[in-house]
Amino acid sequence: MSILIDEKTRVLVQGITGRDGSFHARGMRDYGTQVVGGVTPGKGGTQVDGIPVYNTVAGCVKETGADASVIYVRAPFAPDAILEAAHAGINLVVAISEGVPALEMARVMQEVTALGTRVIGPNSPGLISPGKCKIGIMPGSIHMPGKIGVVSRSGTLTYEMVWQLTTHDLGQSTAIGIGGDPIIGTRFLDVLRLFKDDPDTDGVVLLGEIGGSAEEEAAAYISQEMHKPAVAFIAGRTAPPGKRMGHAGAIISRGQGTADEKIRALEKAGIPVARIPSEVGPLMQEALCSSGLR
């Protein structure tokens, strides 16, 4: 089993005629994802490698039955793209776009939440249920089907963690990059609740980074509510205060959001924290064994 997406998910690509949209549309389709259409205003009636292009999301949904969308448009246009998908009845929107203004996302999230649409991102690498469906830019080849859920604020570091799991024969149920911006649609807690209720997810790897308090909240939830083995890694141990480290949300402000604070909260909750990526696989194996799951 998996969360949010599976082999039945029907995906449309907003911005499919652009460089990134066309490239990753092919990659998703080649992985086995049902990429049923794309949207670029003014390009309706054309095709991208056999994938039909529509002028509007509503038109694509009507013709193809798409229920998920992935957005590859420039940041200034991403908020309207998210809203268009939500108003067209799309259940899941994955926003790859980076640099979306926080105030715009705050406005967008109020509206899409009322419409019942789930947003992953922005500034997200996407999500993948190995062997079933891939939405976004994650490299499918490093993933393998299994029972470990992965949730991360990072992008490329997520791939390293997944590879460490795969090389230790720990397949993944679903891996999700929630995005590193200050305002995102789906948080650690939202994903952890889904993993908790998924009978085929035995354990979870949480990849956090400096800034905010999401990891501390996740630690409290895992210890009090989830009762499945979890392992964590926190990026940014050596980050200087006040300096943004990659993601817009990865910044230590007024002494809060440090890696040390997050690690202490996780360890206090009984969650092992890897010092380096190569420790993630062995720590998860140990956690599964301790829980009688291996």
Q: Are residues 116 and 31 both part of a single domain?
A: yes
**252 confidence band (pLDDT: 50, 70, 90):** very low
Q: What is the pLDDT of residue 253?
A: 44
Same domain, 166 and 278: yes
Closest by CA to 260, choosing from 285, 234, 281, is: 234
Q: Given a cut of 50, is residue 251 above it in pLDDT?
A: no
81 and 208 in a common domain: no
Lateral strand order in the sheet of 10-14: 47-48, 51-54, 34-39, 10-14, 68-71, 92-95, 118-120
One domain for residues 228 and 179: yes
* Structural domain includes residue 132: no
Q: How many residues does the chain have?
A: 294
Question: Would you state the pLDDT for residue 258?
Answer: 85
Residues 150 and 82 in one domain: no
CB atoms within 10 A of CB 45: 9
Whether residue 103 sits in one domain with residue 217: no
The answer as to whether 130 is a domain residue is no
Identify whether residues 179 and 272 lie together within a single domain.
Answer: yes
Q: Do 113 and 165 have their domain in common?
A: no
Question: Domain of 240?
Answer: 139-290
163 found inside a domain: yes
264-275, pLDDT tens digit by residue?
999 999 999 999
Known catalytic membership, residue 227: no
Give the list of residues 6+ apart from residue 150 with CB closer than 8 angstroms, or none. 158, 161, 162, 165, 172, 174, 175, 176, 204, 205, 207
Q: What is the pLDDT of residues 173-226, one digit of tens each?
A: 999 999 988 899 999 999 999 999 999 999 999 999 888 889 999 999 999 999
18 occurs within a structural domain: yes
Contacts of 262 (CB under 8 A, 6+ apart): 208, 210, 215, 216, 219, 234
Residues 149 and 283 in one domain: yes
pTM score of the predicted model: 0.92
Count structural domains, the chain: 2
CATH number at residue 63: 3.40.50.720
Instruction: Return the pLDDT at 257.
Output: 74
- Please report, for the domain that includes residue 179, its CATH number: 3.40.50.261
Domain end: 120, 150, 175, which one? 120
120-166 tens-digit pLDDT: 999 999 999 999 999 999 999 999 999 999 999 988 889 999 999 99
More confident of the two residues 241 and 110: 110
Catalytic residue among 24, 87, 227, 247: 247
31/163 same-domain check? no
Give the type of residue at 226.
Answer: M
Q: Would you say residue 1 has pLDDT above 80?
A: no
Q: Are residues 196 and 85 in the same domain?
A: no
Answer whether residue 131 is part of any domain.
no
In a domain, 2, yes or no: no
Q: Is residue 1 part of a domain?
A: no
Structure confidence by residue, pLDDT tens digits, 79-89: 999 999 999 99
| CA 52 and chain centroid, separation | 26
- Nearest Cα residue to 5 out of 106, 203, 99, 138: 138
Q: Would you state the pLDDT for residue 247?
A: 45
Residue 256: the pLDDT is 53
Boundary of a domain, candidates 58, 92, 120? 120
CA–CA separation, 90 and 118 (whole Å): 9
Per-residue pLDDT tens over the stretch 51-104? 999 999 999 999 999 999 999 999 999 999 999 999 999 999 999 999 999 999
Confirm whether 203 is domain-assigned.
yes
Does residue 275 sit in the same domain as residue 166? yes
- Which residues does 288 contact at the CB level (< 8 Å), separation at least 6? 202, 203, 229, 294
